[in-house]
Amino acid sequence: MNRIIVGRLSVNVSGLRVLQRSFCSSVAEKESEVKQSFTNNDDQYDVAVVGGGMVGMALACSLASMPLTKHLSVAIIDSNPALGKSNFIKKEDPPDPRVSTVTPATISFFKEIGAWQYVQQHRHAYFDKMQVWDYTGLGYTKYNARDVNKEILGCVVENKVLHSSLLSCMQNTEFRKTIYPSRLTSMALLPSSSSISVDSTPSATTLFTKGHLAKLDLSDGKSLYAKLVVGADGGKSRVRELAGFKTTGWSYSQNAIICTVEHNKENYCAWQRFLPAGPIALLPIGDNFSNIVWTMNPKDASDCKSMNEDDFVKILNHALDYGYGPHPKSISSGSVDMFSWFRGDATLSAKECFEVPPRVVKLASERMVFPLSLKHANNYVSKRVVLIGDAAHTVHPLAGQGVNLGFGDASTLSRIIAEGIAVGADIGEVSLLKKYEAERKPANIVMMAVLDGFQKAYSVDFGPLNILRAAAFHGAQYISPLKRNIISYASGEQRLPLPLPLFT
């Protein structure tokens, strides 16, 4: 009983300690009300997820789905009003231009947490083929899911569908979550109230009485306390700023323009053409719709945004087809003898010819423009704070990996939290969180380096480099082990591009 009093009031502790010592020799009574008296404090949580976007909600869902973590109390801080209500996405709505390509690894994650069934109730498009080429017309690569004995390469889903599926998944569990519809203004590590100790040296107390809980102040004046603060609040993360994590990065001096377009026929293939100013990607969304992500320099992007729709459709078709350069020549299977010794068990797609992407008939949504940059937090964790998703890393959209890295972070973090709880650890301990960082940071950095490398390699129009790129296309197209490796890595099945034993 005395222990509660010591914790709650700052009274003369030494007197109470004498009492406690004498209790030891007799059988002390065990109280179970202690826990309740602390949690009478309604605003104390185990985990506070700042940012209720796709990655933040995926983490919450994942915690809700595992037996070891489903008893945790979670606060979600996001000022987006959509979080509070059950979302109704009408089937007739045209597709939103903000979409994400989810890799098979992410699809498995969603299935594990029970959210994929909700995605399947809305518009989503699996694709099993991909064609990549550039404007020089010197080479192309076709990927097929059957090259690695899989059914799909990925699935394109609107962000709002992913988000609402995660929300629905969470609502159907008994998970203790509270949504705070406001924004984080400040954060501090709270010292314990029992910091007064009469008979021990000051250094003993200062070392560990700091930082038992983190205190979060919100913009509507409320405050809450948490053992662990998860920063899932995107590229301009406030948590990252408040926690003092430094970042490395640069802006790409490119903007991406995105929109939804419509075709006359169905499309099950993902297309990407590298143009001198940046790649243009055409991704199937389903129902004859596709999503366009076109990277170009900022001035052209704003021109494209403001021009009228018909002109925009014309230049889109131009960019996908004959614009900027010729079509690559399809190489029929008989004549490439120099690659025959690489072939081994040749992939199905090695024999496929170059195809022209489907023609865009009309624009089906407004055009949006986003600046592109690379950013990486130097550290993902500190005491009681951890970053996931775009708060930790932002990448170029050219390979559709960004949000998949974020989902990978969420999956790993929830697993690490479960492992910590299994051995009774304090979930805000740096040593536990460092395990998450040790797993995700190398994988994220490698992916960012690969994508950044591609971005730089494809933005230079220089004869010898063009030939090199063509050789790279041919290599990926015909060297089967390389192609399989690329597909596995891009699907999220493989953590690193090369099988380095040290990191696995």
Partner 1 sequence: MGSNSISKMAARHLRILSGCNGALLSVRFFSDSTLAQEPIASTAIDSASVSPSINTAENHSQLNNNKKHSAPSSLKHAELAKFSAIADTWWDAEGPYKPLHALNPTRLAFIRSTLCRHFRKDPYSARPFEGLNIVDVGCGGGILSEPLARMGATVTGIDAVEKNIKIARLHADLDPETSTIEYCCTTAEKLVEEQRKFDAVIGSEVIEHVADPAEFCKSLSALTVSEGATVISTINRSVRAYATAIIAAEHILHWLPKGTHQWSSFLTPEELVLILQRASIDVKEMAGFVYNPLTGRWSLSDDISVNFIAFGTKNS
Q: Which residues bind partner 1 (CB under 8 A)?
A: 3-4, 6-7, 17, 20-21, 23-25, 27-28, 30-31, 34-35, 37-39, 67-69, 71, 192, 194, 197, 199-201, 203-205, 207-209, 212, 420-426, 429-431, 438, 502
Burial of 130 from C-beta contacts in 10 A (0-12 / 13-18 / 19+) = buried
CB nearer to partner 1: pick between 381 and 399: 381
* C-alpha closest to that of 120 among 132, 112, 111: 111
Q: Is 258 helix (H, G, I), strand (E, B) or coil?
A: strand
Burial of 70 from C-beta contacts in 10 A (0-12 / 13-18 / 19+) = middle
* C-alpha closest to that of 225 among 70, 38, 9: 38
**Residues paired with 250 in a beta bridge:** 374
Q: What is the closest distance, in whole angstroms, from the C-beta atom of residue 12 to partner 1 in the complex?
A: 15
Q: What is the closest distance, in whole angstroms, from the C-beta atom of residue 25 to partner 1 in the complex?
A: 6
Q: What is the closest distance, in whole angstroms, from the C-beta atom of residue 71 to partner 1 in the complex?
A: 5
Q: What is the DSSP secondary structure assignment for residue 149, as one 8-state letter?
A: T
Q: Would you list the DSSP string of 344-370?
A: SS--GGGGPPP-PPPPP-EE-S--EEE
CA 154/CA 145 separation, integer angstroms: 9
* C-alpha closest to that of 213 among 226, 230, 194, 203: 226
Q: What is the closest distance, in whole angstroms, from the C-beta atom of residue 59 to partner 1 in the complex?
A: 17
Give the ranges where 97-227 is alpha helix by DSSP (H).
104-113, 116-119, 159-171, 202-209
CA 350/CA 333 separation, integer angstroms: 8
Q: What is the closest distance, in whole angstroms, from the C-beta atom of residue 429 to partner 1 in the complex?
A: 7
CB nearer to partner 1: pick between 8 and 111: 8
CB nearer to partner 1: pick between 464 and 501: 501
Q: What is the closest distance, in whole angstroms, from the C-beta atom of residue 63 to partner 1 in the complex?
A: 11
Q: What is the closest distance, in whole angstroms, from the C-beta atom of residue 420 to partner 1 in the complex?
A: 8
CB nearer to partner 1: pick between 1 and 471: 1
CB nearer to partner 1: pick between 202 and 334: 202
CB nearer to partner 1: pick between 210 and 236: 210
CB nearer to partner 1: pick between 7 and 325: 7
